[in-house]
Amino acid sequence: MTSRERVLCALNFREPDRVPIDFWVSRGLRHKLERDLNQSYESFLDAHDVDLRYIEGPTYIGPDLRKYPDGTDEDLWGVRRKHVAVPTTNDGIEHYAEVMQSPLADASDAASVEAYAHWPSADWFDYSGIAQQCARIRRAGRAVVFMGDRLNRIAQLKPAMYLRGIEQILVDMSLEPELAHAIIGRIRAFYKEYTERILTAADGLIDILLTGDDFGSQNGPLISPAMWREFIEPGFREYITIAKQHGARVVHHTCGSVRPLIPLMIDAGLDVLQSLQPEAADMEAGALKAAYGDRLAFHGGISIQQTLPFGSPADIRREVEDRVRDLAPGGGYILCTAHNIQADTPVANVRALIEAYHRFGRKT
C-alpha cells in the first residue's frame, strides 16, 4: 500500500497493512533532530515512512503586521505577542509566542466588536501555490493534510480567547452572549471563506483538513454541551460541510478532557478526533473506541507529558503497544502523539517511538 491508500483504508474503518503513522513535533524538537541526526526533517520523515504530510498552505500577502520597539509584534488578528526562547532539559530550546495584550479585552458590546479595525480578510492570502504543494506530496504517495500554523489554525474558541482573554470569553458566554456571538461570528466568517479558498485552490488534492480548537482542560470540558451547541456547533459543522464538499476528511484537534462533547462532534460530521490526551480525565483509549469507534476514527494518544520526555524506551514501546491494541482493530486509528513532541524529549526516545510504531503497528 502507498501511504495515502493506507490512511484512507484506516479512515474507512478497514485494517490496512499497518497502522498509519503521523509525526508531530515542536519547532524546538525539529531543530534538535536535524542537529543530532545530521539530516533534514523531511528526510527523517521519509526514512521512517511517515504517512501524512502537511502542506504550507496559502502565503500571507496582507498588510504588514505591526512590530514594536520592544520586540513584540501583532499577529493576523492584531493580538500583540512576545517571542520567547526557553532552554529545556536534554539540550533543547523551545520557542513560544506569548500573548501580551488581548485587543478586545475592553470591548463593551457587540457594536464595539464589529468596529474593531483588525479583523482579517481571506483576501490577504495568495492561494496560487496550493495545488503544486499538494501535487508534490501526492506524487510521493503520501496523504495530503492542511492544518495551518499555530497562530492561524481553523478554529473558533481559541482565537476568541486570544482576542478577548481566556477567562473573559468564557464569562461572556454566560453573561454577555451577544458579545461572545459577535466575536466568534467574525472569526467563523473569516475561516469559512479562508477554508473554501484553500480547498478550491487544491482542486480535490487535500485528503484531510485538520482543524484545531481546545475544548477541554485536564479534568473536564471548558464549556458545557449546551454552550458548545450554542456557540461552537454552527461553525464546527460549517467547516466540516465545506471540507466534505471538496472531498476531504476532517480531523479535529482538541487537548484535554472532552468526553461529553464527543457525541456532539460526531453529530456535526467529524471524521477523526485528535489528541486523545492520556493524562486527561475520562479519555481512556479503549473506552473511547468501544463507545464511538464505529462512527469516529482516532488520531494520537501517545503521551508527550510523561512517557516521551520522562519514560524509558521500554515505557514508550509498552504505550504504543497498548494504543494499537485498544484503537487499531477494525481500522479507524492513526498512530501519533497527543500533541507536538517537545524539545525536552531525548532523541533516543524519539527513535524508540518510531521503531515501536513499525513494530506494533504492522499486521502479523
C-beta separation of 339 from 274 below 8 A: no
C-beta separation of 118 from 78 below 8 A: yes
C-beta separation of 15 from 331 below 8 A: yes
What amino acid is encoded at 78 in this protein?
Answer: G
Predicted structure pTM score? 0.97
Spans in the chain with pLDDT lower than 70: none
Distances (CA, A) of 297 to 262, 271, 291, 330: 12, 6, 11, 10
pLDDT score of 304: 98
Of residues 356, 338, 103, 56, the one with CA closest to residue 201: 56
Q: pLDDT per residue over 125-179, tens digit each?
A: 999 999 999 999 999 999 999 999 988 999 999 999 999 999 999 999 999 999 9
- C-alpha–C-alpha distance, residues 304 and 288, integer Å: 19
In CATH terms, 3-63+125-361 corresponds, of 3.40.980.10, 3.20.20.210, 3.20.20.70, 3.40.47.10, to 3.20.20.210
- C-alpha–C-alpha distance, residues 186 and 160, integer Å: 10
- Which runs of E-coded beta strand occur in the chain? 52-54, 59-60, 73-74, 80-88, 92-101, 125-126, 143-146, 208-212, 249-253, 272-274, 297-302, 333-337
Strands 208-212 and 249-253: parallel
pLDDT score of 308: 98
- C-alpha–C-alpha distance, residues 56 and 129, integer Å: 9
pLDDT score of 350: 98
Cβ-based neighbours of 93, under 8 Å, separated by 6 or more: 28, 31, 85, 86, 87, 343
pLDDT score of 169: 98
Of residues 234, 79, 53, the one with CA closest to residue 147: 53
- C-alpha–C-alpha distance, residues 231 and 236, integer Å: 9
Which residues share a beta bridge with 210?
Answer: 251
C-beta separation of 45 from 23 below 8 A: yes
- C-alpha–C-alpha distance, residues 333 and 301, integer Å: 10
pLDDT score of 363: 83
Q: pLDDT per residue over 234-258, tens digit each?
A: 999 999 999 999 999 999 999 999 9
pLDDT score of 32: 96
Which residues share a beta bridge with 253?
Answer: 212, 274
What amino acid is encoded at 63 in this protein?
Answer: P
Instruction: Compute, in degrees rounded to 10, the torsion defined by CA atoms 135, 339, 224, 279.
Output: 150
Cell of 284: 481512556
pLDDT score of 364: 72
Could you state, in order of their start, the residue ranges of all structural domains in the chain?
A: 3-63+125-361
- C-alpha–C-alpha distance, residues 244 and 193, integer Å: 15
| CA-based radius of gyration for the chain | 20
Residue 170 phi/psi, 5° resolution? Answer: -70, -40
Cell of 84: 520567547
